[in-house]
A and B are shown apart, each in its own frame.
Chain A
Amino acid sequence: MHDSGDVKIPIGPQHPALKEPESFLISLRGEKITASSVRLGYNHRGIEKACEARTYTQDIYLIERVCGICSHSHSTCFVQAVEEIAGLDIPARAKYLRTLIAELERIHSHLLWLGVAGHEIGFDTLLMYTWRDREVVMDILAALTGNRVNYGINTIGGVRRDINAKQKEEVLKAMDILETQTKYYIDLAQNETTLLKRLQGVGVLSHDDAQRLGAVGPTGRASGIDRDTRKDDPYAAYGELDFKVISVNNNDVYGRTLVRLGELMESFNLVRQVIRKLPEGAISVKAPRKIPAGQAVSRYEAPRGEDLHFVRSNGTDKPDRVKVRAPTLANIQSVSKMLEDRYLADMPIVVAAIDPCFSCTDRMVALRDTQNRKKNTVPWETIRLKGIKWYKDKGVDFASLNKKLSASF
Chain B
Amino acid sequence: MSHPGKIGRLLIKMLFKKPATLNYPADHSGMPAGFRGKLKFNSLNCIGCQMCMRDCPAGAIKIKKTGEKQFEAQIDLARCIYCGQCVDSCPKKALEITADFELAQLDPAKLKVNLNAANKNNP
Instruction: Please give the residue numbers on chain A whose beta carbons come within 8 Å of chain B beta carbons, in ascending order.
Output: 54-55, 57-62, 65, 125-126, 129, 132, 135, 139, 142-144, 146-147, 150, 152, 155, 160, 184, 187-188, 190-194, 196
Give the residues in chain B near A184, CB-CB below 8 Å: 10
Could you tell me if A146 and B57 are in contact, using CB atoms closer than 8 angstroms?
A: no
Q: How does the 8 Å CB contact mask read for B80-116 relative to A, with 1 for contact and 0 for none?
A: 0111110011000000010000000000000000000
CA–CA, A152 and B82, complex, Å: 9
Q: How does the 8 Å CB contact mask read for B31-73 relative to A, with 1 for contact and 0 for none?
A: 1111110000000000000000011111000000000000000
Shortest distance in angstroms between A180's beta carbon and chain B's nearest beta carbon?
12
Give the residues in chain B near A187, CB-CB below 8 Å: 6
Could you tell me if B6 and A191 are in contact, using CB atoms closer than 8 angstroms?
A: yes
Give the residues in chain B near A143, CB-CB below 8 Å: 32-34
Q: Does B1 interact with chain A (Cβ within 8 Å)?
A: yes
B interface bracket (residues with beta carbon within 8 Å of A): 20 to 34
Q: Does B2 interact with chain A (Cβ within 8 Å)?
A: yes
Could you tell me if A58 and B57 are in contact, using CB atoms closer than 8 angstroms?
A: yes
- Within 8 Å by CB of A192, from B6, B57, B81, lies B6
- Within 8 Å by CB of A142, from B4, B11, B32, lies B32
Top 5 closest pairs, chain A to chain B, by CB: A146-B36, A58-B57, A193-B4, A61-B57, A143-B32
Q: How does the 8 Å CB contact mask read for B16-39 relative to A, with 1 for contact and 0 for none?
A: 000010000000000111111000
Could you tell me if B35 and A142 are in contact, using CB atoms closer than 8 angstroms?
A: yes
Q: Name B88's closest neighbour in chain A (CB-CB).
A: A160
Could you tell me if B7 and A125 are in contact, using CB atoms closer than 8 angstroms?
A: yes
Q: Does B3 interact with chain A (Cβ within 8 Å)?
A: yes
Shortest distance in angstroms between A160's beta carbon and chain B's nearest beta carbon?
6
Could you tell me if A61 and B32 are in contact, using CB atoms closer than 8 angstroms?
A: no
Residue picked from A54, A142, A146, A191, most chain B C-beta under 10 Å: A146
> Is chain B's interface secondary structure helix, strand, loop, or mixed overall?
loop
Could you tell me if A196 and B2 are in contact, using CB atoms closer than 8 angstroms?
A: yes
Contacts across chains A and B counted by CB atoms under 8 Å: 72
CA–CA, A150 and B33, complex, Å: 17
Instruction: Please give the residue numbers on chain B whose beta carbons come within 8 Å of chain A beta carbons, in ascending order.
Output: 1-7, 10-11, 20, 31-36, 54-58, 81-85, 88-89, 97
Shortest distance in angstroms between A352's beta carbon and chain B's nearest beta carbon?
20
Could you tell me if A192 and B56 are in contact, using CB atoms closer than 8 angstroms?
A: no
Q: Name A57's closest neighbour in chain B (CB-CB).
A: B55
Give the residues in chain A near B11, CB-CB below 8 Å: 125
Known: A54-B57, A61-B83, A152-B84. A139 touches B7 (CB 8 A): no
- Within 8 Å by CB of B85, from A61, A126, A129, A147, lies A61
Shortest distance in angstroms between A122's beta carbon and chain B's nearest beta carbon?
14
CA–CA, A261 and B46, complex, Å: 51
Q: Name B32's closest neighbour in chain A (CB-CB).
A: A143
CA–CA, A246 and B32, complex, Å: 34
Shortest distance in angstroms between A61's beta carbon and chain B's nearest beta carbon?
4
CA–CA, A270 and B84, complex, Å: 29
Could you tell me if A146 and B20 are in contact, using CB atoms closer than 8 angstroms?
A: no
| CB<8 Å pairs between A and B, sample of 27 | A54-B57, A57-B85, A58-B55, A58-B57, A60-B57, A61-B57, A61-B81, A61-B85, A125-B11, A126-B7, A132-B20, A142-B32, A143-B32, A143-B33, A143-B34, A144-B34, A146-B35, A147-B82, A152-B36, A152-B83, A152-B84, A152-B85, A160-B84, A160-B88, A192-B2, A192-B4, A194-B4
Shortest distance in angstroms between B79's beta carbon and chain A's nearest beta carbon?
12
Could you tell me if B36 and A139 are in contact, using CB atoms closer than 8 angstroms?
A: no
Q: Name B101's closest neighbour in chain A (CB-CB).
A: A147
CA–CA, A132 and B18, complex, Å: 13
Give the residues in chain A near B84, CB-CB below 8 Å: 146, 152, 160
Give the residues in chain B near A132, CB-CB below 8 Å: 20
Could you tell me if B34 and A192 are in contact, using CB atoms closer than 8 angstroms?
A: no
Give the residues in chain A near B88, CB-CB below 8 Å: 155, 160
Shortest distance in angstroms between B107's beta carbon and chain A's nearest beta carbon?
12
CA–CA, A301 and B1, complex, Å: 35
- Within 8 Å by CB of A191, from B3, B31, B85, lies B3
* Supplied contacts A60-B57, A147-B35, A187-B6, 15 more A-B pairs, CB within 8 Å: A58-B56, A58-B57, A58-B85, A61-B57, A61-B83, A62-B57, A126-B7, A143-B32, A143-B34, A146-B36, A146-B84, A147-B82, A160-B88, A184-B10, A196-B2
CA–CA, A79 and B97, complex, Å: 24
Give the residues in chain B near A125, CB-CB below 8 Å: 7, 11
Give the residues in chain A near B7, CB-CB below 8 Å: 125-126, 188, 192
Shortest distance in angstroms between A179's beta carbon and chain B's nearest beta carbon?
17
CA–CA, A187 and B3, complex, Å: 12
Residue picked from A61, A143, A187, most chain B C-beta under 10 Å: A61
